[in-house]
Structure 1
Amino acid sequence: MITRRLRREGLFRQCSCWLAGVLCFWWLAASVAAAVVPLDDKERAWLVKHPVITVHNEMNWPPFNFNQNGQPTGFSIDYMNLLAVKMGLNIRYVSGPEWDEFMAMIRDGRLDVMLNIVNTPGRREFMSFTEPYLSSPSGIFVTRDNDSIHSLEDLNGKTVAIPRGFFFQEVLETSYPKIKLLLEDDTLDNLESVAFGRADATVGEPGVVQYLIDTHFLTNIKLAGQATDRRFTSVMSIGVNKDQSILRGILQKGVDSITPQEMQHMFARWNLAAAGQADATTLSDEDQRYLAGLNDVQVCVQSDHMPYEGQSGDQLNGISADLLRQLSQTLKLSFHPRFYSTSAELLEAAGRGDCDLVPLIATAAGQSGLRYSKPFLDIPIVLATGSDEIFVGDVQQLKDRKLGYVPGLFSFDALKKRYPQLQLVAVSSMADAVRRIRDGELYGYVDSVAAIAYGMQQHGWYDIKIAGRFDEQLHIAMGVHSTAPHLLGVIQKTLNAMGTEVPKRIYNQWVSVRYVQSVDYTWIWRAGLALAVLMAFLWYRNYQLKKFNRKLERITITDPLTGVNNRKLLDEVLAREVDLCAAGQYSVGLILLDLDHFKLVNDRYGHQEGDAVLNMVCRSVEQVINHKHVFGRWGGEEFMVICPGLNLAATGHLAEILRREISQAVQGPAGNQTASFGVTAYQRGDSGNDLIRRADMALYQAKEAGRNRVQLHTPAKQTSRVTSSFEV
């Protein structure tokens, strides 16, 4: 059954990717259906002789150009796909070679097109370029404990890791001869060299580097400063061999034909500067100095106001969290949430100045002590009623009916003013309103469409429906305490650079709902209502059956003591990941961890104390890993973490973070509980048993070497013994 479930999940992902591709192609085709770019006779003849255009696709340069599960993706890939549609080109992506290999291929004619390439004097000797289509500033990245490097001048005498053949190499070799270069295959290799001490720094695009830091757990890397030399700004063009002037002309026509709206769409999708992220040029020198003096920003949020914001342990979740993450990446600020049970408590605290920022607040709230940004989200206000009530098409139908609402961050004053005949009754929460609707005390409940839809989906309120929509909307902004006007100005500039696309995208990721509006009391809506009731009944029955099946399925893959995945699921997932690795450019890391001296805990203090320690370890691990990692109990006091997409170094780094977290957070009856870790990663030809055997061997070595340590196993083709470790 587990295999069938995993296959269904894999099929669903494949279908989702296929559908996303179809929709993307549909959008591209729709955008150019009326404006295909005309070609002259020479250009058409050239395309007849060259029916397929080969285009370079990198493996690991997100978000611009990378490969995900065998599929080319990124901003530059979308851009090239749009050009292909506009110009009628048949393109084939070439994936796998490193950057310097691609350069050799374009030089000798084995490759037609290079994307996201910088026009430099050295390259102009054998290449021609279109006009630039994108630019990105570069930053200097070092380890978090390095406070001596902030500028290019600080790199003199230091070792800097950069991709071999990248345009940085030419600039550094000619203009910064005192800097020692460590040339490697790609940006990920550069970051790992910095993380593990082989290089002092690396230079790269912040968007690329941050993506790799997040996905490969390189949490000891930070942005130390901007490479202010303009030559380090990646002004990206499309490049072809110098002899292919006709192809260059065709591509330039395509570049010229792309509209600002089409660029905006792609910027928003990939969260780039024009529609998703301010860069250093957005902020003034005064702004930069102000930000440098800020240690952190205190944020007032509600602990239970999903999907807008909520508390998960000590972490913020929801739309607020995603928006603050966008601000943090741009402004390099740390946002620390302060949680409040009710909106009244939050507003009172914000007014007192207990925090600097309220990330989501309706402009109509008018809270004293706060100043507001410009609204960046407009959210519909809807009415929820019992499922047996008729749909409301006219507010006059609500006369003399009591409607609940929750006063606070999202003010409904505009609704009260426009419809004074409404009897709005304050309730403590949506759950309170639902209870009163069921008891007949209230006819309905007024709130934002997101809050009601989320509540219905999360709490299973199937006897509640969205029965109508008001003309008014909630205009959502950020609130900053009046004593911090400069902070408001910086945030407003960042929001301006974001545009409305990014907040809308985040909002749409959290909200998915449809609601029905009544047209009239005619046979049309009656027939529709009857059909809806029938469909709802069938859907509900199907939902209950699926829910029951999911529950049964979950029991078979869950460890009953700790609530984490059991060995059966771990075996299935590891087998699937190994199959993916064997099929293409992919990696998976494996961690085995075993609690140190755990038998003594059971023998001296009893199995109940031992069980408590096992559960504390599980909760500590779950606080560190992300949704891509698969964690479970392997047996006894031994646990496994499967790490899709991570190589050996990144997996070892994650294991070290886990080791520290367990040793600091898990308090057993005999004191701090520690664990030993064995780490390995996929090598070509591996089976799942090969990975487990090597990880187990490394774990044994960690125990022999004194416990409470991480031991890495090297590739089998080099040696069968453990050769590196993280010392405690």
Structure 2
Amino acid sequence: MYKFSHILRWILPLVVTLILVARAQGEEALTAKEKLFLERHSVWKVHSEDYWPPFNYREFGERKGYSTELVLLLAQQVGTKVEFVDVADWAEALDKLKAKELDIISNMTPTQEGQQFAKFADSRTIAVTNALVSSDAINSITKLSDLIGKSLAVVQGAAEIPVIRENYPEIRLVETQDTLHSIEKVVSGRVTAAFDSEHVLRFYLENYIDSPLRVTSLAENVNLGVYYQTLAVRKDRPELASILDKAYLSLSPETIQSLKRKWLTNNQTNKVNVLNLNRDERMYLNEKQVIRYCTHPDFLPVEGTLDGKAQGMTGEYVQYFEKSLAIKFEHVLSASWKESLQNIEAGKCDVLTLSRPNKSRLDYMTYTQPYLSLPVAVAIHQNTPYAAEISALVGRYVGFNRNHGLADEFRERYPDVNFVPVDSAFTGLQMVENKELFGFIGALPVVTYHLQNYFPNLMVGSRMNQSFPLSVGVNKAEEKLANILNKAIEKMDIRLHSSILNSWTPVNYKPVSDNRLVWAVLTIGFIVVCAIGYSYYVLQMKYRKLEELSTKDQLTGLYNRYTIDTVLAEQVAQFGFSRKPFSVILGDIDHFKILNDRYGHLIGDQALITMSRVFEENISDSDLVGRWGGEELIVICPGKTEEQAEYLAETLRLAINAEYFDEVGTMSCSFGVAQYFAKHSITDLMQRADRALYHSKRMGRNTVTSYTDFHLQYKGDAT
């Protein structure tokens, strides 16, 4: 230890000296004229674009991209500051440089035309490959010559325009404001293809555009394939170009490679789901920068305020909206629900995270489609007669929260129940505990939360055939925002809802001694039928741990039967809102019992693990795969018709046939596919999938059968 410390005493001063010498050499590399220039121009005005990712763009109101970070590094190297100047488009950037309103354009291709008003640095900071984007249905567009006689969108002022016109005069060029405009013209069919950097085109298609488009690289095109960009400065400030070159050369190769890996190897994005937002909607979000939201301060675990911060399950959905829309959501504190309503009416907040359409609020608020539905239940005292049926409430006094807007519906549906309005769930449940009310009716997760935390002598006595369908309430002045949020809601998938459910559903339960309390515990599971999950809340349990419900199968790592049942119920609830199709695929490993008998259960388990991996690798992000039981696997396919799910099942079948299973060799799987329809229950759906699967087995295995095909062949067996 002494020797190491002794060596360190000598090495550290040497390292520090070398660093200081290197820095001194970097400073000495600047000429006296360049140093004087920096003294007089300590702030650089640099152009900032909105829509040229991953090089130069804005997200969350923050400037991002390779070129943006590079110019900041260069300024740091020579001790200057950067002032970013926003430009609406590339043409404006060029105009501002010509007018000497900019010092630097951080990403520009050197051209003879550009040299008339700009001085280019010698350092090649970016190597760019051009590409075309066209409709996926047009397979014939693989090179620029394929566009002869057709239209091509290109950004106005792009350096490649003269080259395209010279080499491909028969192509009709359509100049656009920016890349996003170009892509939108392809989507709408107004042009055949669009031309831009391959990085930029792929970034947009992967993160913003939800249309069947394809990107074709032009790397092999001699004149337009690969080119480089550098920094361009005002022509009357050549010293600045020299300074930028020296600053760039002073960066270590590791620093430059790290920057390129960050931005050009894997496109950076906060994307959760691709949203097909049009340009106006993207512009709206870009200008908005922050969306202010109000919540119900006392509706835990759904949402609430603790220590001045928003809590509850809606917090998870706010995070989803933030990432999907690439914009920050800012919580506006409210002391009460009434104040939240006043805030949105006064324009102090843009949205309410949870709200139900109400005639009295339509003057100042519009609504998205529902994204959450909460079942309704009644809490009663444990010492009162058990009220498993709603008929037990006839003639009784039952409290409800006056702020939740279901009073008229309750009274109309249950005219023989005496409903009493109260100010909050806590107040109503306290009145039940004091036996001032027979029961309290409210959203099941809210009732359960209060019972577990504050009212151990109460229980869930009955549930009503009613639910809270909840939407995002949007200030009427922000109707464009409502449309944008609807697009985000439509893209919510079962993985999002399941992750929220699995993260925040409590798993510790009180041991019970009678069926009433067993039913009370099981009602928590019923939340899954219509609710989308719980958000974070601190659950101070006074009960002993009975068991922990796992959501994953321990052997395969797939979702287990409990979670699959949960997600199926959720899909049925969502179908009630949107009428969007969903289907299921049942897969059964062929001859699995024989495999176990021949090779043993350890090899059988390994084969099942490999089979599960093949399933996971060949489904889309919106699908969910689980272990249905034994050697049966299930795939839930939101948004897919039976025909589309059948195609996926065939893809899985072929992938399994191509897989090598250790110790076993090749294996196969039989499949049954069925689609959910409104008149059916989950049991009906699974029976149909099972019948189709059985038919595949009868047909010799290693086959895919849809229920429709099975039904047409065996009408007598269908119900």
Q: TM-score range by the shorter chain?
A: 0.3 to 0.5
User: What is the TM-score with the length of structure 1 in the denominator?
Assistant: 0.39
Q: Which of the two has higher C-alpha Rg?
A: 2
